[in-house]
Structure 1
Amino acid sequence: MKRYALQNVYIVTHPEATHHVENLVGGWHDSSLTPRGMASSRRVATALSERIPAGRSPLLFCSDLLRTRQTAEPIAESLSVDMLIDADLREQSYGAAEATPAGSTPFVPPPALGDRMRHRDGIDGSESRLELAGRAYAALERILMCGAQDVVVVTHGGTATYLIAAWIGLPLEEAGYVKFKVSPGSITHLREDDFFHDRQVMSLNDVGHLE
């Protein structure tokens, strides 16, 4: 991956959504934020406005699903920026299992050994990890090409793992075991220093602003 002028990436996971409280499979199911989730999104916006210095011109990217757009709206207002939609920032597709009660659809977990990235879980229409990760890696590449000093990316828990993996340079084909635990409404701060150009994970799964 090429290096650009970008220094800070803030990965935001959407807060509590209706599929969480209804115990439904999310994925591409277009659930909305709950009232609690909406309140959390405002706290996220406040936290980001405190972290990004005044006078900067950050970019704001988000998934096209409703729950991430609702999360991004108060951020856009707080930072006085437009929302840039990128469907590649969507959560993993769970195909026919989406919007069904969690655990009600049998699936085949990935093997402990072997090609975990191309594994199929047996659910019609679901994505492999390779397909999800490929979308996330491509999205981050486009984001970095913008060359902004500060970027906010509003996405989903599963997608966040692969954005972080892409940031630290983990080869796509080697990402079969990676998993970063991120909570709804969290902020993960990634930074590239301007001397060594090292890719740093400054904070992971920060939820202090939600307390």
Structure 2
Amino acid sequence: MPVHASSPDRVFLVRHGRTAGNVSQVLTGGADDPLDEVGQAQAEAVARWFAVENIESPRIFTSSFLRARQTGSAIATALGTQLTVLDGLQEIAPGDWQGRAYADMHTHVHELVRSDGSFGFPGGESLAEVAARFKAALEPVLAEPATPIVVAHGGSLTAYLTDLMGADVRQAWLDGRYAHANTAVTELQKLNQGWHAVKIAFTGHLEHPEKTNKQ
């Protein structure tokens, strides 16, 4: 990522609140399902958490998917700031895996090594492709004098963080080191021209944190 004199030294990444698709534990990819009742409560909880964090010049950026926009709207309201939709933050496209169970991503992980050697979904996107579009979407954001709060999705956040931290893609996917529960928060801080993870997938704002895997 390019370095700018006025660029932020903190970035927050947030997964959206829970949806019916998360409950079903099935890959929905681009399905534009809304937050369910629990998801709405989660969005309000993470919004309250951000409201007491004393974040300098916060700005909210979300994917175009409804579940991300609803979560981002709750945060924007709590902080009294704007919400901007960014193309490129959307969930990873599962391609031929649309409708398959979350569990298959571990029990059939060998099927995620695509014919070109990349790691991702056959007929869909690789994690490298998702990371590339995510980074491209954030590039102009990181040139602005504000603190970005980016609301996205389990798969796209995993792809971006795996790339940013230089982790092995397959191993990071298997061990779930960047997996985010619904409304989990990752905080990144710029140190020595690079990004350091202050917290990864923090869920302290939730009374009963739930792990719902990567979608």
- State the TM bucket, normalised to the shorter chain: 0.7 to 0.9
1:208 to 194, 204, 210: 204
2:149 — aligned with what?
Answer: 152
5 Å matches for 1:58-207?
Answer: 58-95=58-95, 97-98=97-98, 100=99, 102=101, 109-111=111-113, 116=117, 118-119=118-119, 121-122=121-122, 125-148=123-146, 150-168=147-165, 170=166, 175=169, 177-179=171-173, 180-193=178-191, 196-207=192-203
Q: CA deviation at 1:133?
A: 1.6
Contact 1:108 1:121 in 2 (8 A): no
Contact 1:137 1:166 in 2 (8 A): no
- Structure 1 CA distance, aligned partners of 2:12 and 2:42? 16
- Structure 2 CA distance, aligned partners of 1:140 and 1:131? 15
Contact 1:88 1:139 in 2 (8 A): yes
| 1:65 aligned partner, one-letter code | F
Q: Which moved more, 1:57-66 or 1:17-26?
A: 17-26
2:212 — aligned with what?
Answer: none
2:54 to 45, 52, 55: 52
- Structure 1 CA distance, aligned partners of 2:142 and 2:164? 10
- Structure 2 CA distance, aligned partners of 1:97 and 1:81? 37
5 Å matches for 1:7-26?
Answer: 7-26=9-28
Give the percent of matched residue pairs that are identical in Structure 1 and Structure 2: 27
- Structure 1 CA distance, aligned partners of 2:2 and 2:190? 12
Contact 1:15 1:40 in 2 (8 A): yes
Corresponding position: 1:33 with 2:53:
no
Aligned residue-pair number: 198
Gaps of 5+ in 1: none
| 2:201 aligned partner, one-letter code | N
- Structure 2 CA distance, aligned partners of 1:7 and 1:70? 26
Contact 2:184 2:203 in 1 (8 A): yes
Q: Rate the CA distance shift 1:80–1:126 in 2: closer, same or farther, 3 A.
A: same
Gaps of 5+ in 2: 208-215
Cα deviations by residue, 1:29-76 (Å, 9 ceiling, x for unpaired): 1111110000000000011111134xx321110000011011111111
Structure 2-normalised TM-score? 0.79
Q: CA deviation at 1:140?
A: 2.5
Q: Rate the CA distance shift 1:205–1:119 in 2: closer, same or farther, 3 A.
A: closer
User: In angstroms, what is the RMSD of aligned CA positions?
Assistant: 2.8
- Structure 2 CA distance, aligned partners of 1:27 and 1:13? 14
Cα deviations by residue, 1:174-194 (Å, 9 ceiling, x for unpaired): 75654412211101111114x
- Structure 1 CA distance, aligned partners of 2:17 and 2:81? 21
Contact 1:91 1:156 in 2 (8 A): yes
